[in-house]
Structure 1
Amino acid sequence: MQNRDAFFIGNEWLKPASSKTFQLVGASTGEVVATVPEAVETDVDRAVAAAREAFDHSGWATMAPAERAIVMRRFMAALATRGPDLAQAVSLQNGMPIALSGMLEGQFPVGILDYYAGLADTMGSDDVRPSQMGKQTIVERPAIGVVAAIVPWNFPVTLALSKIAPAMAAGCTLVIKPSPGTILDSYIVAEAALEAGVPAGVLNWVAADRAVGAYLVSHPGVDKVAFTGSTAAGRKVAAVCGELLRPVTLELGGKSAAILLEDADLDSFLQGMPMASLLNNGQACYNGTRVLAPASRYGEVVDGMAAMMSSLTVGDALDPATHIGPMASSAHRDRVESYIATGKREARLVTGGGRPRDSNHGWFVEPTLFADVDNAATIAQEEIFGPVLSVISYQDDADAIRIANDSQFGLGGSIWSPDPERALGVARQVRSGTVGINGYMPSLGSPFGGVKASGIGSEFGPEAVGSYQQYKSTYVMG
């Protein structure tokens, strides 16, 4: 058991204001692995007050960006030494295969801090512009203030640092609310921040349920909200922020299309499919879960995908040989299985569709493939968030583009072809915030975000820093 009994607020481990707790359950075993405190509104008030004090009075917001970069690099170094512990904690809680969490939760967050520390090093001074009505205008980009960062359970460390790092570079302070399903990792990140000497109040963590999370979103001491989660929850966050005229960044759901053009190398697609369509047991918002195959090669594509998916090792997330781990929770497995039941009525089940026979514990679902899927079907339109793929037939490139765009979402997607010009031509017509060619993986140096019901704003790239800043123009008249 890895029990915890405090919140990280103002660089102190503060006792909670109530006796409420969360029990964390290991996704591979179904057994309780830790008990941690659950925040109530008083705890949120203390965290926001610490962040407010740090922003208003510590000098962090007005510090030279290069000085903040020094702090961020110390934080990066402290986090790097904890990479294996972070990977272990994440896989234990949400079932991410340890071979994947070692890279994406243990190492990638270190790279995020390094990237934004580099940007902070190069952030320039005020922009002085000529004025038509006076002498000149001084344009500043001060930090926006206190940020409420709401982090989901599927990539808890990476998605926390994707908010923390650009916000720190800009000079903001944060209150971070992790998902109730993945909390242990946040303590490890907080310990790294404390060791690195991140100033008190710059980073604060409180784990809470949805109701208290909503209280944080609407808190009068918060200046901006950065949210990653479901589209349904994102709409509620957006409604609150709209009423308050509070800036918000929303990274939401997806139902991305992986388009195999007629000349695609099927072996190349099958090799890339685990990362492009089944990443993290299918629990990644940008997974290409609608596979669009040309009618002339439909049977070949379905057979190849079925063979590949059937060969994947399903097992304990902490086993390095595991390809597909469990769903993150019992409730989430129920949700995925309800979609599989719907799929059996709507399409042809090719492989999977149940629970592994040799697993009598944990929240496991077999990798599942449906064929003969109509794009209007529920399993083609709604985000399942599990290892469930649908293969949809198309006639020509224009038809593939039409089907890909026939979705409420627009977050990810991929185009597969040995002809780069043809693939790029198709990619330009897909309505999505990001698209990969012959593979898919977000790049730190480029904006990542969605269109339509997939969100508002972007993370990653220099653009993310801008979302934590505001413009201020000073008119010098004489």
Structure 2
Amino acid sequence: MMHVKFLDGQVKQLLIDGRHVPARSGRCFDSINPANGKLLAQVAQGAAEDIDLAVQAARRAFEGAWSTFNPYDRQMALLRLADLVDAHADELGALDTLDMGGPVAYAASRRQRAVAMLRYYAGQATTVHGQTIDNSQPGDIFTYTVKEPLGVVGAIIPWNGPLFMAIWKIAPALAAGCTVVLKPAEQAPLSSLRLGELCLEAGIPPGVVNVVPGFGAAGAALAEHPDVDKITFTGSTEVGQKIIRASAGNIKRVTVELGGKSPNIVFADADLDAAVPGAAMAIFANSGQVCSAGSRLFVERPIYDEFVEKVAAFANRLRVGDPMDPATQMGPVVSHEQLERVVGYLGVGREQGARLAAGGARISEGALAAGYFVRPTVFADVRDDMRIAREEIFGPVVAALPFDDIEDVVRRGNATTFGLGSGIWTRSIGNAHRVAKGLKAGSVWVNCYQQMDPAMPFGGYKMSGYGREGGAAHVEEFMNTKAVWIKTA
């Protein structure tokens, strides 16, 4: 294992009000390397008391030092943070790889994405503005609007992209002038804690960014806290529903990006040389642990058998192994719990009659046996009513289904409670536009999959959530709009 200075054998404490502090309970939990099941670090286990202290610190900073930062000051702080993230990208990437298993081979793309987001939102900090509005009232009345930061933001992130997710929550909140209490997932808290340190180094005042790792109880305390003005959450639909219910106490604003069971549609006229690897990595990237993964693969019937065979062959060629090895293309799933979940679905698929075209088992022999590795799996001859075609597995498992025409595939693609991502592979511009219009999903990728850019909005339809992250509208999610009326005569 490469040496990472942050992993110094000491307990990783909470970061509250600019200081490293133990949990009030004194409890810690283990952060485990999913590639070998070994201990990476012990982490202070935050709970409701610690969340309350962090919220108090965030409120003091919001009303104090951070309120003196004008848009230019916030922009420069975010740009300094971007430079620091860039300078420490190897360390941050290694922490994510060790903590949750994402292959280090993709570190360069993760680095570019993280730095680009920070610089994009730095630019957004100076573009916030209200409007002057002509009104129809009698007399001389001047009317305008003002944009003001909401206040204290509770950010709760999952484990499948810790650094990226933390930045996606923190950067737009800071650009808007808010302060943040970040609750990272207990499976992968390390890069979030290091990012919090870099925020301080960038000159962001103590209390503006607080990091409190912990379990579900900590997240629940944040969602329920009466002095939190907004919750921004990425995770499962089940937990998202709980957060929405918890927000009712003080009617806090909520953005939720939740689960998915995304259709990835391949027409017979598609460029198969591009579509095969595209469809495969739409599900096998990050070991399938992506909310918008293309987990339902719809293939037009004339090419169904050929295409499934090629995707299965691609799966069998993927190099699964130690995520710290630059040659590795797919690492482990994040935890033993997730391993059991995915393996359980492998059994369900077989029991319900799906044909196994590739994979279908845990890697339980050789050097990888101690880790949480699942072979990239392709199920063929899948029916729409099978559980593997309806339920989010969150692992490297794709269900391949044949379709006959556009009306058929749009109807079936939409026959889900989710609506996060979707893909279309075709040479026909007509097919692309018709299907893109018909699909009820927040993102539609045509002849590509999982493309992301800070300037583009991302979010869900239906039970995949509401609110948008990315784009100019993202900063608006952290603002209030005030209407001002001035009678001038």
Same fold flag (TM > 0.5): yes
Number of paired residues? 475
Runs of 4 or more above 4 Å deviation: none
The one-character-per-residue Cα deviations of 1:273-322 (angstroms, maximum 9, x if unpaired) are 34422220100001111000111111111111111111001111111111
The aligned amino acid for 2:293 is N
Matched, 1:118 2:123: yes
1:443 aligns with 2:472: no
Structure 2 counterpart of 1:107: 112
Aligned residue in 1 for 2:53: 46
Alignment of 1:261-300 (within 5 A): 261-300=267-306
Give the equivalent residue in structure 2 for 1:181: 187
Q: For residues 340 and 419 of structure 1, what CA distance do their matches in structure 2 show?
A: 35
Select which of 3, 7, 21 maps to 1:14: 21
- Whole-angstrom CA distance in 2 between matches of 1:443 and 1:196: 24
Q: For 1:127-142, list aligned pairs within 5 A.
A: 127-133=131-137, 135-142=141-148
Cα deviation 1:359-415 (Å, max 9, x = unaligned): 321001101110111112110010000000010011111111111101111000110
- For residues 54 and 414 of structure 1, what CA distance do their matches in structure 2 show? 43
SS of structure 1 residue aligned to 2:485: strand
Cα distance in 2 for residues equivalent to 1:352 and 1:263: 28
State the match for 2:4 in structure 1: none
Cα 1:5–1:316 shift into 2, 3 Å: closer
After TM superposition, the structure 1 stretch with the greater mean CA deviation from structure 2, 94-103 or 177-186, is: 94-103
Indicate the residue corresponding to 2:408 in structure 1.
399
Mapped partners of 2:42, 2:446: distance in 1:
43
Do residues 417 (structure 1) and 456 (structure 2) align? no
In the TM superposition, residue 174 of structure 1 has moved relative to its aligned partner by: 0.2
Separation of aligned partners in 2, 1:456 and 1:243: 19
What secondary structure is seen at the aligned counterpart in 2 of 1:263? coil
2:43 alignment partner, one of 14, 36, 39: 36
Residue 88 (str. 1) matches residue 91 (str. 2) = no
Structure 2 residue aligned with 1:230: 236
Structure 1 letter corresponding to 2:113: F
1:212 Cα shift?
2.0
Select the residue among 255, 261, 274 that pairs with 1:255.
261
Alignment match of 2:62 (pick from 17, 35, 55): 55
Output the CA distance in 1 between the equivalents of 2:323 and 2:475.
Answer: 34
Q: For residue 439 of structure 1, what is the amino acid of its counterpart?
A: C
Q: Report the 3-state secondary structure (helix = DSSP H, G, I; strand = E; otherwise coil) of the residue aligned with 1:277.
A: helix
Helix, strand or coil at the partner of 1:169: helix
* Contact 1:66/1:122 (<8 A) preserved: no
CA deviation vs aligned residue, 1:67-119 (integer Å, no higher than 9, x gap):
21011111111111110111111111111111124422x33111111001112
8 A Cα contact 2:320 2:331, kept in partner: yes
Paired with 1:5 and 1:306, the residues of 2 have a C-alpha distance of 42
* Cα displacement string for residues 424-447 of structure 1 (whole angstroms, at most 9, x for unaligned residues): 221111100001000121221111
Q: Which runs of 5+ in 1 are unaligned?
A: none
Matches within 5 A, 1:67-78: 67-78=73-84
**Deviations 1:34-59 (Å, cap 9, x if unpaired)?**
1111112221111101100011122x
Contact 2:183 2:213 in 1 (8 A): yes
Q: Which runs of 5+ in 2 are unaligned?
A: 1-6
Distance (whole Å) between structure 2 residues aligned to residue 404 and residue 255 of structure 1? 9
C-alpha deviations, 1:325-347, integer Å up to 9, x for none? 11100010000011111000121
Deviation of 1:23 (Å): 0.4
CA distance in structure 2 between the partners assigned to 1:398 and 1:131 by the alignment: 47
Mapped pair 1:344 → 2:344: no
